[in-house]
Structure 1
Amino acid sequence: MTTVVMKFGGTSVANVERIRNVAQHVKREVDAGNRVAVVVSAMAGTTNQLVGWVRETSLLHDAREYDAIVASGENITAGLLAIALQSIGIQARSWQGWQIPVLTDSAHGAARIIDIPGEKLRERLDSGEVAVVTGFQGIEPNRNRVATLGRGGSDTSAVALAVALRADLCDIYTDVDGVYTTDPRVVPKARRLSRISYEEMLEMASLGSKVLQTRSVELAMVHRMRTRVLSSFTPPDEIPAAHPDTWHEIGTIVCDEDEIVEQQVVSGIAFSRDEAKITLRKIADRPGVAAAIFGPLADANINVDMIVQNLSTDGKNTDMTFTVLQSDLVRSLEVVKSAARDIGHFDVESSGDVVKVSVIGIGMRSHAGVAARMFTALAEKGINIQAISTSEIKISVLIDRAYSELAVRTLHSLYGLDAE
């Protein structure tokens, strides 16, 4: 008997008809004799509507009341799915975060899960009951208040619940049928990966891939929870029930790299258009200047990614370029300009007309020349690189937004990722 956690996102439960379709996916697992827990998001558009009502009521609002309101969307979905399951003869019960309980810290709106005592749910699963659990929400125990995990938090809820239940598999159902080598809308020859390592998936999630939420991948990697991405729009009877012999037959398994027999040098190409570049010119070249700039940015919770520093020819000044999220550009400029009071005058330039393109693959650890091939291929297409950042398994470049699709297609072909 396999224990499986099934997570369904907002598009998968967008209306009653789709909720009935989800019930058929759950029925397939129950009929196979598996223990099943289901994690659900709010119906598509519901959370946005709830957030809009909060902001319409007051732009300045209590974070605890905000969480109480926006968490209600998942309550509706869980109740509807439980009723849909009961209507087809399946024993099911809905569970809200506080009932389990999903214990979180006190950072309302962006809470982190501290613990999920799983004994109560395991007993229900052992008795044959399907637990339908609200994603995105938990309870902050100090004040006994509902706390939400931030947008996309249902993925994290599902993986955390799978860990607590000691599940064999966590299935994330979405509107795509797996993880692709890149966005198929940009590269029609992109192909679905049958397996991808936790490390690669984490890089892809943080570098622009929207398939899985970054925190959920981090959690899966820490606990080595095997996670599968598949589509809820695939007919339920075309997906085998969860079993070690059939896990690889459909979707994409996110797993330990030891489980991937044939490792390519590069597994995927990710890109992010939500990037902005800030350049500081004629900064005094002396100790403490970088700290005076990036310290206040960190204090403002602004994440800085790529950093390039060039010393001027006179040896007295330096130019510094770095990237932030486009949504943080205005705040970043305000913080940077205020730093001039401490380090002296410098010129500031900014641009939101950039894109970050990344090459990702665990095979890069043991293969030389991956970066050189990347830079050469982009140069041959007339694409100028404005900044570079690297890790053990990825290389990211910042380029002009106009060349984003050309760069992705070029690199996808360069590393042999096109489907035959």
Structure 2
Amino acid sequence: MIVQKFGGTSVDGPQRIRNVVKHILAARQRGYRVVVVVSAPGDMTDDLLAQARELNPDPNRRELDVLLSTGEQISIALVAMALEAAGQPALSLTGLQAGIYTDGAHGKARILRVDPERVLEGLDEGRVVVVAGFQGVDPEQDITTLGRGGADLTAVALAAALNAEACEIFTDVDGVYTADPRIVPNARRLDAITHAEMLELASLGAQVMQARSIEYAMRLGVDLRVRSSLVDGPGTWIRRDAYVDHIPVVTGVTCDRKTAKITVIDMPDRPGAAWELFSAVADRQVNVDLIIQSASRNGTVDLTFTVPEDEFAAAREAAEAAARSLGASGISTDTNIAKVSVVGAGMMNTPGVAARIFGALGQAGINIDLIGCSEIKVSCVVAREKAEAAVRVLHDAFNLGEEAAG
């Protein structure tokens, strides 16, 4: 058994839906029982959201979930009809009918459990079961939506509950690349990558999959395969045992332009000051990424941190309030930055990776503002206008391109 997920681009119109049917039938011909998860067609979710906000600038979240869940219901019906027309019996199911049970956090619900009884019944009848992604039902039987990347989450959850062999994510790209091919023309498609590496790439700006779904797959032990819905190809496997003989030092380079920097100036250098600042930021539901603190001078420090650009306004307000409460001189901000990151499972056991990164950027005249590290990644904050150049420089520095691979 496999689970196949198709995004909004893949089901945007009759011709693309027919193409989706070809992928499904190909899996059936290989002997698989198939569960399909689909998103709303094209930009329908955004269009519905715009209509809601035109009528009510601050719509009730419960009602918004009822509205936004309709896009996927259109997709499941159309895909099931197309399968039937091709001679393949099919069964369309909403999130509720498929047994996707969530908490009550409308707009960003968390999957609590999956009861796939109705899905299994459909499979036992020889049908392809087509499930609406992005949605579930809470303990009050109210419709919920799972937030950004929700259809991927649905697919991973079903794959785990059904003990599927794999979860195939069909999208408009043919796999995971060593860098964005629009920035690095000789970027190379990867045959396989670990969940941990893909999670880092996704959280650092790579847009193939959302980080939440990868984290979920890693926790549940679900193998993922990213493939193109538009052309045939092997795609990229995301799995725990991605490497058998050789673990690459660096797998990919990515860039996140949607980041901003805040510095609290002359903050008192005393116990509890950082807690007070970041508690205020956390109270505004802001995720903090990189943090750096200057050396103490005259009993004060400058503390700099980065946040997602769409959370910048809330973070700035929280930082301003905390700075006043702490008696700091004030804050400074910078939204003209980007975070460029190098990711690889092999770097934890390889000396000199950071030096190679800093040397390559230095030779290219690209200044590093902030640095953050984990076992398998090094991130550098640079001026936004230097971001693409930095990606190309680092991609070349680690010989990740097609020519080097060949």
Band the TM-score falls in, shorter-chain normalisation: over 0.9
| Alignment partner, residue 152 of structure 1 | 149
Tell me, yes or no, if structure 1 residue 254 matches structure 2 residue 238. Answer: yes
User: Is 1:35 equivalent to 2:19 in the alignment?
Assistant: no
Instruction: Map 1:161-180 onto structure 2 (within 5 A).
Output: 161-180=158-177
* 2:58 counterpart residue number: 60
Residue 62 of structure 1 deviates from its aligned partner by 1.4
TM-score by length of 2: 0.97
Runs of 4+ deviating beyond 4 Å: none
Alignment map for 1:4-83 (pairs within 5 Å): 4-83=2-81
Q: Which residue of 2 aligns with 1:205?
A: 202
- Identity rate of aligned residues, in percent? 46
Distance in structure 2 (CA, Å) of the matches to 1:122 and 1:43? 26
Report the Cα distance in structure 2 between the residues aligned to 1:32 and 1:383, rounded to whole angstroms. 51
- 1:274 aligned to 252, 258, 267, which one? 258
Is 1:229 aligned with 2:226? Answer: yes
Contact residue 257 and residue 337 of structure 2 kept, 8 A: yes
Q: CA deviation at 1:61?
A: 2.0
Tell me, in whole angstroms, the C-alpha distance in 2 between the residues paired with 1:345 and 1:259.
50
Which residues of structure 2 form unaligned runs of 5+?
none
Mark the CA change 1:232 to 1:258 in structure 2 (over 3 Å): closer, same or farther: closer
Offset at residue 384 of structure 1 (A): 1.1
Q: How does 1:63-212 map to 2 (within 5 A)?
A: 63-141=61-139, 143-212=140-209
Q: Contact 1:302/1:328 (CA < 8 Å) preserved in 2?
A: yes
What is the CA distance between 1:123 and its match in structure 2?
3.0
RMSD of aligned alpha carbons:
1.1
Deviation at 1:58, TM superposition (A): 0.7
Deviation at 1:20, TM superposition (A): 1.2
Change (3 A) 1:65 1:210: same
**Structure 1 CA distance for aligned equivalents of residues 148 and 46 of structure 2:** 10
- Distance in 2, Cα, partners of 1:18 & 1:396: 38
Q: Look up the SS of the partner of 1:111 in the other structure.
A: coil
For 2:124 and 2:347, how far apart are their aligned partners in 1?
A: 44
Specify the alignment match of 2:308 in structure 1.
325
What's the offset of the Cα at 1:222? 0.9
Give the Å deviation of 1:160: 0.6
CA–CA separation in structure 2 for the residues paired with 1:226 and 1:261 = 19
- Report deviation, 1:312: 4.0
1:311 match: secondary structure: coil
**Cα deviation code 1:60-117 (max 9, x no counterpart):** 2211100000010000000000000000110101000011220001110000101111
Give the structure 2 partner of residue 356 of structure 1.
339
Matched letter for residue 163 of structure 1: A
Q: What displacement does 1:27 show?
A: 1.1
Contact kept in structure 1, 2:267 and 2:323, CA below 8 Å: no
Report Cα offsets for 1:183-207 as digits up to 9, x if no partner: 0000001000000000000000100
Give the secondary-structure state (helix, strand or coil) at the position aligned to 1:215: helix
Residue 284 of structure 1 and its aligned partner are, at CA, apart by 1.4
CA distance in 2, matches of 1:348, 1:300: 17
SS in 2 for 1:98: coil
Give the conservation status (yes or no) of the 8 Å contact 1:196–1:260. no
One-letter amino acid of the structure 1 residue matched with residue 13 of structure 2: N
The more displaced of 54-63 and 34-43 is: 54-63
Question: Displacement of 1:363 after TM fit?
Answer: 0.4
Instruction: Give, in whole Å, the separation in 2 of the partners of 1:139 and 1:123.
Output: 20
Whichever residue aligns with residue 47 of structure 1, its letter is T
1:397 aligns with 2:394: no
CA distance in structure 2 between the aligned counterparts of 1:45 and 1:260, rounded to whole angstroms: 40
C-alpha separation in 2, matches of 1:260 and 1:272: 30
Correspondences of 1:355-394 after superposition (within 5 Å): 355-394=338-377
Q: Deviations over 1:277-323 (max 9, x none)?
A: 11111111111110111001111110111111012433x11111110
- The offset of 1:344, in angstroms, is 1.1
Distance 2:22 2:324 in 1: 63
* Corresponding residue number in structure 2 for 1:245: none
CA apart distance, 1:272? 0.1
Matched letter for residue 378 of structure 1:
L
Q: Secondary structure at the match of 1:103?
A: strand
Moved more, 194-203 or 125-134: 125-134
Which residue identity does 2:28 align to in structure 1? Answer: V
Corresponding position: 1:290 with 2:290? no
Name stretches of at least 5 consecutive residues in structure 1 with no aligned partner.
240-249
Instruction: Report the Cα offset of residue 259 of structure 1.
Output: 4.4
How far the C-alpha of 1:354 sits from its partner, in A, is 0.3
SS in 1 for 2:402: coil
